[in-house]
Structure 1
Amino acid sequence: MLHIAICDDDPAAVQTHREITEQSLRQCQCAGEISIYTHSDNLLYDITQDHFFFDLILLDIEMPGCTGMEMAEQIRPHLPQGKIIFITSHVEYAIDAFALSIFRYVPKAELAQRLPAALRDAIALITLEDGKTYTIQTSSRLEKLPYREIYFIERDGKNARITTADGVSKVRKSLQQVYEELGTEEFLYIDRGCIVNLIHVMQIKDGMAVLKNGVALPISRSHLQAVKAEINHYWGEHI
């Protein structure tokens, strides 16, 4: 079951967001528990003091007291894997939202079109992060790597070198074989010798894929347009 919080100082907006969220959960055939907040301070207290856990938070940016932008900064240390969707009428916030690793930015003027897609993508990603693992098995060890912790995979001679949040693991298989075994759209070739996990890509800049951990990986010219297209398709537009 997913734990979702909706925070907006406008009760009518909260109800609209709740209805869209419930519909998205049904479409994804996913159970969810939705908590409603009309005061940002109450949500912040529940997370930082009472240690409430949320997989996904829908935040209005323009709220009295603690704004959505300020909340995101304070929430992040307590819910490092939590997904935040900003809902606002001011486009200029989008750049700051991107810098805060916000999952998606939804303009209020396009709420009906953009919020359902953002929610479905978030639900699918959370489900992926909670479930799948890649198993490395040899005569001497058995190692399971959660998909969510894999940043990228590189060819290393006759091996594939897998970089995760905890370090590097090697498997004596070709890069293509590992790619086929992973079998999910989140992993994408950016070069003949490198596969990246799209859930960790923050931006494409100067021909490089910049990841959340600060690593920048070169994208080959032959792959650049396809990589951009795949990322746009996977994430949708942020603005």
Structure 2
Amino acid sequence: MVIKVAICDDVPVIAKAIEDLMLEYDSSLFEIDIFYDPFRLIKLLEENTYDLFILDIEFPNRSGIEIAETIRKNNYTCPIIFLTSFKEYMEKVFKVNTFDYILKPVTKDKLYPVLNRAIKYLDLDDSKFMFTFNKVFYSLSFSEIIYFEKNKRSVLIHTPSEIYETILLTKTLLSKVNDDFVQVHTSFIVNARHVKQISTNTITVNLNGTRTVEIPMSRKFKDQARKQILMRLRDFIS
């Protein structure tokens, strides 16, 4: 798999330096487009998207935060990495579900650990959840599924933009998903990648940039579920 990357910085020498570092990291892994004008990137996002964004946080007429807000309207899961010279922006950048930030100047020691985490997060095995409903075939990437909800024989599949439905036994469903998915209740299986908060008897997951939902954890599953979720979250951030 090739990762499509958009680098947006109005200082050409900085953008080129980041591109060179990424190609040195692995020239076969990244397909990189450079944007010096944020409006050009935003215009392109009307028809295309990228797997990974690296955005400067300050432009003459627009902030990187505004670009991220535009990205998040259609793509809530892709990693966004901000470039900044000031730590004071950190509270703002994490409101748009930022993957990480790098303080300038960008060096190999700063960039490569973040790339390692982004690649792990993007799950490069191309795994898909495939199912049928009403004789229609569907294929979703695991990363875009927020949680599964059992409703008698039906399974509701919640994503940031839509809810799909299929017919599956819980045992069969669990056999079809990867290790990111954790059963927290007889009726709920959540994607640990999207967990925002773990409370005593509930889990809060991000649905999209502005909405969250609370999912109950039952006594039967909560101890093991808590351990599994924390283990997966540790893997994502390590």
Q: Mark yes or no: TM-score above 0.5.
A: yes
Query: How do residues 210-229 of structure 1 correspond to structure 2 at under 5 angstroms?
Result: 210-213=205-208, 214-219=212-217, 221-222=222-223, 223-229=225-231
- Secondary structure of the 1:57 match is strand
Structure 2 equivalent of residue 144 of structure 1: 138
Give identity over the alignment, percent.
Answer: 24
Offset, 1:109: 7.1
Contact 2:131 2:139 in 1 (8 A): yes
**1:204 is matched with which residue?**
197
How far has the Cα of 1:61 moved from its partner? 0.8
- Are residues 38 and 164 of structure 1, via their aligned partners in 2, closer, same or farther at CA, if it must alter by over 3 Å? same
Separation in 2 of the partners of 1:126 and 1:64? 31
Q: Deviations over 1:87-115 (max 9, x none)?
A: 22333433322221233333447853453
Is 1:18 equivalent to 2:26 in the alignment? no
Q: In the alignment, is residue 181 of structure 1 matched against residue 176 of structure 2?
A: yes
Distance in structure 2 (CA, Å) of the matches to 1:129 and 1:227 = 21
Change (3 A) 1:136 1:99: same
Aligned residue pairs total 225
* Residues 1:163 and 2:146 aligned together: no
- For 1:10 and 1:124, how far apart are their aligned partners in 2? 29
Name the SS of the counterpart of 2:231 in structure 1: helix
Distance 2:50 2:144 in 1: 19
**Secondary structure of the structure 2 residue equivalent to 1:66:** coil
Matched AA of 2:90: A
Distance, in Å, in 2 between the alignment partners of 1:14 and 1:98 is 22
Q: Is 1:73 aligned to residue 69 of structure 2? A: yes
For 1:209 and 1:59, locate their aligned partners in 2 and report how far apart those are by CA, in whole Å: 28
Give the Cα–Cα distance (whole angstroms) in 2 for the partners of residues 209 and 129 of structure 1. 27
1:43-95, Cα deviation, whole Å (9 max, x unpaired): 334445xx454332210113332121122223444656654221223334333
- What secondary structure does 2:59 align onto? coil
**CA-atom RMSD in angstroms:** 3.6
Give the TM-score of the pair, scaled to structure 2.
0.72
Q: Given the two structures, how large is their TM-score scaled by the length of structure 1?
A: 0.72
Q: Residues of 2 paired with 1:42 and 1:145: CA distance?
A: 31
SS of 2:97 mapped into structure 1: coil
Code of the aligned partner of 1:9? D
1:94–1:192: structure 2 CA closer, same or farther, 3 Å change rule?
farther
Q: Note closer, same or farther for the CA distance 1:168–1:133 as it changes in structure 2 (3 Å cut).
A: closer
Instruction: Show structure 1 runs of 5+ residues with no match.
Output: none
Structure 1 residue identity aligned to 2:129: T
1:36 aligns with: 34
The 3 A distance-change label for structure 1 pair 210 and 8 is same
Contact 1:24 1:116 in 2 (8 A): yes
Alpha-carbon separation, structure 2, partners of 1:206 and 1:226: 14
Secondary structure at the aligned position of 2:115 is classed as helix
Aligned to 1:100: 96
Look up the SS of the partner of 1:215 in the other structure.
Answer: strand
What SS does the aligned partner of 1:169 have?
strand
